[in-house]
C-alpha cells in the first residue's frame, strides 16, 4: 500500500440540537420496532410467508444497531466527547450477543428456504433479494464481532491502520453494492411486473439481468480495492478516541470526491426516486391503492432523511467547499443515523413490497406456448 498514517487529536463541544434530534428519533424508533415485530409474529400468515423472512432479518439487524450504536452517539452529543474506551458495557454486550445468536440461525433458515425451493431460487425476482441477504450476512459476521469485542474489553482490538482499511473497505463496498442493486432493481421491477415475457430468451436474460447484477457486485469491489489500498495518499486516525478518519482519497482528489458523491450517491438516489415514482403512478393507475400508499410513504421517508445530506455534498463538490457547513451538523443526525441504521430495512422493504408473483422462466415459456396454441 502506498498510504501512510498521521495521528491526530479531536474534541467536540456539547451538541444540544443533535442530542435532542437523535433522542427523539430513537424514542420513536423503538416503539416502531416493537410494533412491527408484534404485527409480524402475531399473524401466522405473515411470519410464515417467505417474503417476510428477509424483512424480519433486516428488522433484527437494524434493532441491533439501534440498541448498540445510538447510545454511544447520545453519550457523545451529551458529554461533548467520546468517553474513554476502558469501560465494560454489559447491557450492550448481552443484547448484541443474544441478537446475533438469534440472527445467524435466521440467516441460515432463509437461505435454506430459498435454495431448497426450485421455483424461488430460479425466479428472476429473487436474485436481488439473495444478493442483499448475502451482503447483510457478511456484515453480520464481520462487523458485529468487532463490536462485541469492544463492548467486552472496553476498547477496539486491535486498533491499527489495517483495521481502519478493513473497516472502510467492508463498509463502503457493501453499502455501494446494496445501493447499486437497489437502483437496478428499481428499473428491473418495471420489466418483471409489466413485461416479464422479455426474459423468455436466455440472451435477453444474460444481457438484461445477469450482466447488470454482476456489474453491481464486481464494479464496487475493484473500485474500492484500487482507491482504498493503492491510492497514493496519507491516511489518518485518532488513537486517543480510537476513531478512523475518513479514507484519504476523498480528500486528496476533489475529482474522486465529486465522483463518489454523484455516482455512488446523488445519481443513485435520483434514479431510485425516478424509477419508483414512475412505478408508483403505474400501480396507482391500476387501482392498487394499498401498494401505492405504502410505496409513497417509504419513498418519502427515504428522501426526507437522505435528500438534504446528498444536496449538501453535491453543493460542496460543485461550488463552495464550505457550502452547507452550518447545516451539516443538523443534517448528520437526520441523514447518517437513518441512512446507516434503517436504510436497509426501508429500501429493501419497498422493493420487496411490489414483488410480482414468483414466475420462473420455464413457466413463462410454457404460458407463451399455450397462448400460441390457443390462437
Q: Is residue 371 part of a domain?
A: no
Is the pTM of the predicted complex or chain greater than 0.85?
A: no
Q: Is residue 205 part of a domain?
A: yes
Task: Please report, for the domain that includes residue 165, its CATH number.
Answer: 1.20.1070.10
Which residues, including other chains, have CB under 8 Å from residue 288's CB and lie 6 or more apart?
Answer: none
Q: What is the pLDDT of residue 239?
A: 59
Winning range, highest mean pLDDT, from 8-22, 152-166, 178-192, 220-234: 220-234
What would the pLDDT profile of 192-235 be if each residue is shown by its tens digit?
877 878 888 888 889 989 999 999 999 999 999 999 888 887 77
The boundaries of the domain holding residue 272 are 4-365
Q: Is residue 155 part of a domain?
A: yes
Q: What is the pLDDT of residue 261?
A: 78
The answer to whether the peptide bond before residue 158 is cis (omega within 30 degrees of 0) is yes
Backbone angles phi, psi at 49, to 5 degrees: -70, 135
Taken in order 101, 106, 109, 110, the sign of the CA dihedral is negative
What would the pLDDT profile of 348-374 be if each residue is shown by its tens digit?
333 333 343 344 444 444 444 444 444
Where does the chain have alpha helices with state H?
Answer: 16-41, 44-47, 50-79, 90-116, 118-121, 127-153, 161-194, 202-205, 211-229, 249-252, 254-261, 267-285, 289-318, 325-341, 343-353, 361-374
| 131/338 Cα distance (integer angstroms) | 22
Q: Is residue 132 part of a domain?
A: yes
Taken in order 330, 327, 172, 77, the sign of the CA dihedral is negative
| 375/185 Cα distance (integer angstroms) | 34
Q: Is residue 297 part of a domain?
A: yes
Number of structural domains the chain divides into: 1
Q: What is the pLDDT of residue 305?
A: 55
What is the chain's length?
375
Q: What is the pLDDT of residue 372?
A: 40
Report, as an integer, the average pLDDT of 28-52: 73
pLDDT at 244 exceeding the cut of 60: yes
Q: Is residue 370 part of a domain?
A: no
Residue whose cell numbers read 455516482: 263
Q: Is residue 206 part of a domain?
A: yes
Q: What is the pLDDT of residue 216?
A: 93
Q: Is residue 374 part of a domain?
A: no
What would the pLDDT profile of 50-78 be if each residue is shown by its tens digit?
767 777 777 777 777 666 666 666 666 66
Amino acid at each position: 500500500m502506498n498510504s501512510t498514517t498521521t495521528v491526530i487529536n479531536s474534541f467536540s463541544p456539547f451538541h444540544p440540537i443533535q442530542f435532542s434530534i437523535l433522542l427523539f428519533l430513537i424514542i420513536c424508533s423503538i416503539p416502531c420496532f416493537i410494533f412491527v415485530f408484534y404485527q409480524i409474529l402475531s399473524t401466522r400468515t405473515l411470519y410464515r410467508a417467505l417474503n417476510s423472512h428477509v424483512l424480519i432479518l433486516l428488522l433484527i439487524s437494524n434493532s441491533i444497531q439501534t440498541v448498540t450504536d445510538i447510545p454511544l452517539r447520545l453519550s457523545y452529543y451529551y458529554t461533548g466527547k467520546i468517553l474513554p474506551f476502558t469501560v465494560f458495557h454489559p447491557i450492550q454486550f448481552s443484547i448484541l450477543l443474544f441478537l446475533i445468536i438469534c440472527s445467524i440461525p435466521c440467516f441460515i433458515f432463509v437461505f435454506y428456504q430459498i435454495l431448497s425451493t426450485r421455483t424461488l431460487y430460479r425466479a428472476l425476482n429473487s436474485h436481488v433479494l439473495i444478493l442483499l441477504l448475502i451482503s447483510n450476512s457478511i456484515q453480520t459476521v464481520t462487523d458485529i464481532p468487532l463490536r462485541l469485542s469492544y463492548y467486552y474489553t472496553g476498547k477496539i482490538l486491535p486498533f491499527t491502520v489495517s483495521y481502519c482499511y478493513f473497516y472502510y473497505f467492508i463498509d463502503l463496498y457493501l453499502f455501494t453494492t446494496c445501493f447499486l442493486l437497489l437502483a437496478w432493481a428499481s428499473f428491473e421491477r418495471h420489466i418483471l411486473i409489466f413485461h416479464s415475457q422479455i426474459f423468455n430468451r436466455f440472451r435477453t436474460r444474460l444481457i438484461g439481468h445477469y450482466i447488470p447484477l454482476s456489474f453491481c457486485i464486481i464494479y464496487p469491489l475493484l473500485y474500492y480495492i484500487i482507491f482504498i489500498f493503492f491510492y497514493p495518499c496519507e491516511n489518518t486516525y485518532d488513537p486517543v478516541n480510537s476513531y478512523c478518519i475518513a479514507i484519504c482519497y476523498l480528500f486528496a482528489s476533489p475529482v474522486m470526491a465529486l465522483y463518489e458523491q454523484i455516482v455512488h450517491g446523488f445519481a443513485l438516489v435520483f434514479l431510485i426516486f425516478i424509477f419508483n415514482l414512475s412505478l408508483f403512478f403505474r400501480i396507482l393507475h391500476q387501482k392498487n391503492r394499498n401498494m401505492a400508499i405504502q410505496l409513497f410513504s417509504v419513498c418519502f421517508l427515504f428522501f426526507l432523511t437522505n435528500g438534504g445530506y446528498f444536496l449538501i455534498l453535491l453543493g460542496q463538490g460543485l461550488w463552495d467547499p464550505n457550502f452547507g457547513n452550518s447545516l451539516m451538523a443538523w443534517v448528520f443526525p437526520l441523514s447518517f443515523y437513518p441512512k446507516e441504521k434503517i436504510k436497509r430495512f426501508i429500501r429493501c422493504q419497498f422493493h420487496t413490497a411490489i414483488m410480482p408473483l414468483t414466475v420462473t422462466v420455464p413457466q413463462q415459456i410454457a404460458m407463451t406456448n399455450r397462448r400460441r396454441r390457443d390462437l
